[in-house]
Amino acid sequence: MATASAIRGTFFDLVDDPWKHVGREQEAARFTFDGLMVVRDGVIADFGDYAEVSRRNPGIQATHIKGRVIVPGFIDGHIHFPQVRVLGAYGNQLLDWLQNWIFPEEEKYGDRNYARGAAGRFFDALLAAGTTTCQAFTTSNPVSTEEFFGEAARRNMRVIAGLTGIDRFAPEGTVISPDFFYRETKRLIGEYHRKGRNLYAITPRFAVGCTDEMMEACRRLKEEHPDCWINTHISENPTELRTSRLEFPDCHDYTAVHEKHGLLGPKFTAGHGVWLSDDEFRRFSRAGAAISFCPLSNLFLGSGLFRIGRATDPEHPVRLSLGSDVGGGNAFSLIRVLEEAYKVGLCNNTMLDGSVNPREQDMAEAERNKLNPYRGYYLATLGGARSLYLDDVLGNFDVGKEADFVALDWNAGQAAMGWHQSLITGGNVPETMDQAAQLLFGIMVCGDDRNVDETWVAGRRAYKKAGA
Ligand code: GUN
Ligand code: ZN
């Protein structure tokens, strides 16, 4: 017998890409003031106005979530499981930061007890931030991948991860051989891929840390397991970019390294892409490959400003997710990631609106950098799902998708929040899509994980904020 449950409340989700509806972004969204979601075996069986859905499902008992806006669970396209403890390490750019803080911490994950304890903390932090799906790096020790998938399965969360391959540019305890990587990846794919909600990503850490032999191992794995994802980093930091040019002299740019090894294509995600050229953006778009935009990390590590307006060029749109990039990003909260994304977008806007240099004016690209709430929440939900080729099961409240969602409290957080938000609805529940979007914008730029009141995974409540 299928188990059915239902949730009643005020729902907001995206049904299309708002960048396709410039100036009319509401057309990309759906607002359900008094809605009902029926969930059967973790999947949305019915959704719509309460009056209609309750008539179609007589006698169904609903949990009524009042005074909240319910949005789809957030999707973090780029995060590092073994970096929880090194959040916010002081003072270095990427390459020094990796050597000084990251590799020593990741080596601890060879100890199963340490990795298991960390996995509990990692998923607790994700759920408290409203994140229900992530694509994660583990370490180069298979123990960390096993513990990651084990904990995700216990929580029934939809996740993507894989053994992280690196065979140079790291201490002895971190590097592994391409042979070991190939064999262990195959074993782990057999053990975890599509078991429950677990999905496997072949994971070359970044080209600077991977020889041609390691990249070839990835090509072979993708050919032998075409259903798997590929997860990596690209063009994050100028020194990294220069190093990749030296290490791959036969490749004319960073993207060409992945093309050369047959990796760029659907289900390929690279984090960052801060320094990608216009031509590289076009090649990502043509290939159906994705970039995970990690503004919290890009600002924290001083990496640079991702060109949102270029990546969303309607002629060559690139699939985009948001990534916290914990611990390069100094918080789990995609709400805080959205805040930084908004600021990056406005800086780009200033550079392109002609006020700095009239010769570089591009008003259309300048505008595409502006993250209104429709664009912001799209990136955190349906856009992220599309970038990961998971929009058949995640991203909004369409019937047939998995019932992962978050109940947001627009008044929580800073002491000033309630009065600030009362500008929109006088403290009441939003009655229109525009009001809901304005409250969500307030959360996005003034909020954080304190605004996450409840997080539900596959139709079950997995997190409730303490004291709320
Ligand atoms: N590039 C290679 N490894 C890493 C990492 O752990 N974090 C970030 N931000 N960039 C990387
Ligand atoms: Zn990263």
Q: Does residue 188 belong to any structural domain of this protein?
A: yes
Is any ligand 1 atom within 6 A of the Cβ of residue 72?
Answer: no
Instruction: Give 261-272 pLDDT, tens digit per residue.
Output: 999 999 999 999
**CA pseudo-torsion sign 389, 395, 400, 404:** positive
Q: Does residue 180 belong to any structural domain of this protein?
A: yes
- DSSP H helices, 369-447, are 373-380, 382-387, 417-425, 433-446
Q: Does residue 440 belong to any structural domain of this protein?
A: yes
Pairing state between β 290-293 and 319-322: parallel
Is any ligand 1 atom within 6 A of the Cβ of residue 328?
Answer: yes
Q: How far, in Å, is the centroid of ligand 2 from the Cα of 101?
A: 14
Q: Does residue 11 belong to any structural domain of this protein?
A: yes
Domain, as residue range, for 176: 74-387
Do 165 and 283 lie in one domain? The reply is: yes
Q: Does residue 130 belong to any structural domain of this protein?
A: yes
Q: Does residue 68 belong to any structural domain of this protein?
A: yes
Instruction: Give 318-352 pLDDT, tens digit per residue.
Output: 999 999 999 999 999 999 999 999 999 999 999 99
Q: Does residue 392 belong to any structural domain of this protein?
A: no
Is any ligand 1 atom within 6 A of the Cβ of residue 79?
Answer: no
Instruction: Give 37-80 pLDDT, tens digit per residue.
Output: 999 999 999 999 999 999 999 999 999 999 999 999 999 999 99
Point out the ligand nearest to the CA of residue 166.
Answer: 1
Do 106 and 255 lie in one domain? The reply is: yes
Do 146 and 270 lie in one domain? The reply is: yes
Is any ligand 1 atom within 6 A of the Cβ of residue 102?
Answer: yes
What CA–CA distance (Å, rounded) separates 15 from 373? Answer: 14
Residue 322 backbone dihedrals phi, psi, to 5 degrees: -100, 145
Which DSSP state fits 24?
A: -
Do 333 and 456 lie in one domain? The reply is: no
Q: How far, in Å, is the centroid of ligand 2 from the Cα of 175?
A: 17
Do 118 and 239 lie in one domain? The reply is: yes
Do 94 and 56 lie in one domain? The reply is: no
ipTM of the complex as predicted = 0.99
Q: How confident is the model at residue 244 (pLDDT cuts 50, 70, 90)?
A: very high
Q: How far, in Å, is the centroid of ligand 2 from the Cα of 13?
A: 28
Do 283 and 374 lie in one domain? The reply is: yes
Six token digits for residue 152: 């995700």
Do 31 and 92 lie in one domain? The reply is: no
Instruction: Give 191-208 pLDDT, tens digit per residue.
Output: 999 999 999 999 999 999
Predicted pLDDT at 468: 60
Pairing state between β 290-293 and 131-137: unpaired
CATH of the domain at 280: 3.20.20.140
Do 79 and 213 lie in one domain? The reply is: yes
Do 10 and 136 lie in one domain? The reply is: no
CATH of the domain at 23: 2.30.40.10
Do 277 and 424 lie in one domain? The reply is: no
Q: Does residue 97 belong to any structural domain of this protein?
A: yes
Do 313 and 290 lie in one domain? The reply is: yes
- pTM of the model as a whole: 0.98
The number of domains in the chain is: 2
Q: How far, in Å, is the centroid of ligand 2 from the Cα of 244?
A: 16
What CA–CA distance (Å, rounded) separates 191 from 196? Answer: 11
